[in-house]
């Protein structure tokens, strides 16, 4: 199965705190640095789970972009998209079951529809990060990506990604795409409102709810929840709900968002 993930490629900085931060002082921490961004996370997990995975994203032209491109290639992901500007950085402060993000998306949101090559979207599944629908010009590029993928018979899924960017314009963009499947947290689902499609609601340690049916989370040793939702999405798209829950459990047992 060929899956195309459409979204960001950023430098992920994971900071696992041993205790809460103290204003104006120091705290010990364990860190991880590598490829990240919701688009990249889904593509890497899909490749690890047996799919032919592609990531379409706008990359920077700096050293970080070259390092991230090399990492994705080593992980079996085919990377497509134009280069320009600077690589984004996302810092995740993790304390096990909870995390907080500080996000600089770099040049990723500058991807334009006229920069897309139809050949990139020859796939069975197109998965879009909700961040791509939060602003222009990448929102128009996402719409064009859906058009190109559907022209070859692909099914489209969208992850709402964050409740903070869900406003009426965002809702209009999602509805215009008419995705076959929506991924959301409970807060995102409530904030978005109604849409006639299949919903997968991610409920953290309670598992997921698929079209109203609950599925329990797989047992795991909790280290860090960063990227668990992306791992689930990749697993679900590749092999269904059980593979998705297994991938999420694997992700939670390691520091960082990648397998």
Q: Render pLDDT for 1-60 as a digit per residue (tens, 0 to 9).
A: 999 999 999 998 888 877 777 778 787 888 888 899 999 999 999 999 999 999 999 999
CATH at 170: 3.40.1190.20
Q: Tell me how far apart the alpha carbons of residues 84 and 92 are, in angstroms, rounded to a whole number.
A: 25
Q: Are 57 and 81 in contact (CB under 8 A)?
A: yes
Flag whether 27 is in a domain: no
Name residues whose C-beta falls within 8 Å of residue 259's C-beta, 6 or more positions apart in sequence.
Answer: 44, 45, 48, 231, 247, 250, 251
Q: What is the mean pLDDT of residues 104-126?
A: 96
Among the listed residues 35, 3, 6, the one whose alpha carbon sits nearest the alpha carbon of residue 227: 35
> Would you say residue 256 has pLDDT above 90?
no
Instruction: Evaluate whether residue 96 is within a structural domain.
Output: no
What pLDDT, on a 0 to 100 scale, did the predictor assign at position 98?
65
Catalytic site includes residue 25: no
Q: Are strands 198-202 and 77-80 parallel, antiparallel or unpaired?
A: unpaired
| Domain assignment of residue 129, yes or no | yes
Judge whether residue 232 has pLDDT over 80.
Answer: yes
pLDDT tens track for 116-148: 999 999 999 999 999 999 999 999 999 999 999
* Number of separate domains in the chain: 1
How far, rounded to the nearest angstrom, does the alpha carbon of residue 155 sit from its chain's CA centroid?
17
Domain annotation covers residue 149 = yes
Which range of residues forms the domain containing residue 178? 2-9+36-86+106-252
3-state helix, strand, coil in the chain (%, to 5): 35, 30, 35
Model confidence at 77, pLDDT cuts 50, 70, 90, reads: very high
Measured between alpha carbons, how far is 26 from 48 in angstroms, rounded to an integer?
37
Is 258 part of a structural domain of the chain?
no
Question: What pLDDT is stored for residue 109 in this prediction?
Answer: 94
| DSSP β-ladder status, 77-80 and 52-56 | parallel
What per-residue confidence (pLDDT) applies to 203?
A: 95
Q: Is 71 helix (H, G, I), strand (E, B) or coil?
A: helix
Is 150 within 8 Å of 176 (Cβ atoms)?
no
What pairing do the DSSP bridges indicate for beta strands 29-36 and 10-17?
antiparallel
The whole-number pLDDT of residue 49 equals 98
CA atoms within 13 Å, Cβ hemisphere of 208? 29
**What's the burial of 210, exposed, middle or buried (CB within 10 Å: 0-12/13-18/19+)?**
middle
| pTM (two decimals) | 0.93
Residue 76 lies in a domain: yes
What pLDDT, on a 0 to 100 scale, did the predictor assign at position 94? 72
Are 165 and 245 in contact by the 8 Å Cβ rule? The answer is no
The answer to whether residue 96 scores a pLDDT higher than 80 is no
| pLDDT tens digits, one per residue of 153-184 | 999 999 999 999 999 999 999 999 999 999 99
Catalytic-labelled residue, pool 8, 12, 159, 230: 230
Q: Is residue 188 part of a domain?
A: yes
Residue 142 to residue 152: CA distance in whole angstroms: 16
> What is the per-residue pLDDT across 189-224, written as a single tens digit (0 to 9) for each?
999 999 999 999 999 999 999 988 999 999 999 887
Overall average pLDDT of the 100-129 stretch: 94
What is residue 102's three-state secondary structure?
strand
**Is 160 part of any domain?**
yes
Burial per residue of 63-87, b for 16 or more beta-carbon CB atoms within 10 angstroms, e otherwise:
ebbeebbebbeebebbbbbbeebeb
Angle ∠(88,79,137) on CA atoms, nearest 5: 55
């Amino acid at each position: 199965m060929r899956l195309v993930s459409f979204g960001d490629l950023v430098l992920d900085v994971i900071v696992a705190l041993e205790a809460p931060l103290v204003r104006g002082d120091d705290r010990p921490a364990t860190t991880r640095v590598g490829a990240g961004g919701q688009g990249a996370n889904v593509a890497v997990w899909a490749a690890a789970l047996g799919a032919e995975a592609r990531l379409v994203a706008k990359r920077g032209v700096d050293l970080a972009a070259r390092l991230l491109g090399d990492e994705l290639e080593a992980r079996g992901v085919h990377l497509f998209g134009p280069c320009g500007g600077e690589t984004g950085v996302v810092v995740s402060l993790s304390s096990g079951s909870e995390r907080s993000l500080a996000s600089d998306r770099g040049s990723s949101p500058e991807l334009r529809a006229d920069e897309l090559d139809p050949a990139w979207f020859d796939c069975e599944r197109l998965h879009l990060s909700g961040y791509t629908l939060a602003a222009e010009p990448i929102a128009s590029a996402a719409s064009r990506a859906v058009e190109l993928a559907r022209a070859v018979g692909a099914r489209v899924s969208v992850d709402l990604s964050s409740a903070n960017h869900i406003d009426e314009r965002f809702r209009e963009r999602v509805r215009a795409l008419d995705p076959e499947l929506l991924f959301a947290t409970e807060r995102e689902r409530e904030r978005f409102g109604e849409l006639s499609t299949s919903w997968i609601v991610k409920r953290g340690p309670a598992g997921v709810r698929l079209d109203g049916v609950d599925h329990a989370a797989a047992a795991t040793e909790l280290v860090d929840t960063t990227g668990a939702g992306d791992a689930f999405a990749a697993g679900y798209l590749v092999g269904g709900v059980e593979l998705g829950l297994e991938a999420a459990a694997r992700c939670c047992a390691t520091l960082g968002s990648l397998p």
